[in-house]
Amino acid sequence: MECSVIKTVLALALAAGMVAGPAHGASLSFSNPDSLTPISQDGILELFDTNIGTLNTVRLTLSGTGSSRFVLNNTSGSGQNVSASSVILMYFSSSLPSLNTTLDVLMPALQLEASTGPISLDAGAGAHLGPVVSSATLTLDTLMPSLFAQAGGGNFTIYCENSDEKRLDGGNGVVTLGLVTQAGCGATVEYDYTPRASQIPEPASTALIGLGMASLLATIHRRRQRR
């Protein structure tokens, strides 16, 4: 009888500990250093493991950094006022076919813009300007959680490439523009999830279990005294 009562209280204790916790968040990311363009970079992110809970929402942020160096030369015999700019276009793809459907619509996903501002060049003069740094991010927060979740977890890859565009305003066709760029990409995935039932009792449950155990021990003690 005593053993049966003890087993009942222990079972209640375990049941009290099986309480689902509040929503949790996890953030995973990678970042590549800038390198001379054109780039071909990638990074690995983890999928959500459904064994640890239920995935509620997913937020994927794509990021890019860049720098531009401008070389201007005035080939005429008169001064020229010009302004040069560059745009680094970044394209992303993934090892997840379902994510690629979204990324295909976003080509290019990022545009990193840099400019020299107004420049005055004397006759026959040149100028080296930069590096002018630039950065951009894009957040996707309407992605389907089921695309990023599987039992046991796993991982997926994000790939990025780029192309460059340059523009020269002014110069009357007698100023040449050279452009050297560097770029790097990164990504962050954020998971909001509800963990599965926890084995750790809540404080109130722990107190109730303690009272139950104390009552049980008192009952057992009284029974032994009667014998």
Q: Quote the strand ranges of 17-148, DSSP E.
A: 24-31, 35-36, 40-46, 48-49, 53-74, 80-94, 110-121, 126-140
Q: What is the pLDDT of residue 96?
A: 95
Report the pLDDT value the prediction gives residue 225, as an integer from 0 to 100.
53
User: What pLDDT score was predicted for residue 220?
Assistant: 44
Q: Look at residues 45, 146, 159, 42 and name the one whose alpha carbon lies nearest to residue 100.
A: 159
Hey, which residues does 69 pair with through a beta bridge? 180
d(CA 30, CA 62): 10
Measured distance CA(138)–CA(134) in Å, rounded:
14
Number of Cβ atoms within 10 Å of the Cβ of 199: 9
pLDDT tens for the chain, 227 residues long, are: 433 333 333 233 323 333 345 668 889 999 999 999 999 999 999 999 999 999 999 999 999 999 999 999 999 999 999 999 999 999 999 999 989 999 999 999 999 999 999 999 999 999 999 999 999 999 999 999 999 999 999 999 999 999 999 999 999 999 999 999 999 999 999 999 999 876 444 554 444 344 444 444 444 445 455 55
Q: Return the pLDDT at 226.
A: 53
Cα 136 to the center of its chain, rounded Å: 14
Q: Helix 203-226 crosses helix 2-17 at what angle (to 10 degrees)?
A: 180
Please tell me the distance from the alpha carbon of residue 78 to that of residue 123, in angstroms, as a whole number: 4
Q: What is the pLDDT of residue 211?
A: 41
Residue 203 is predicted with a pLDDT of 54
Looking at residue 52, what DSSP letter applies? G
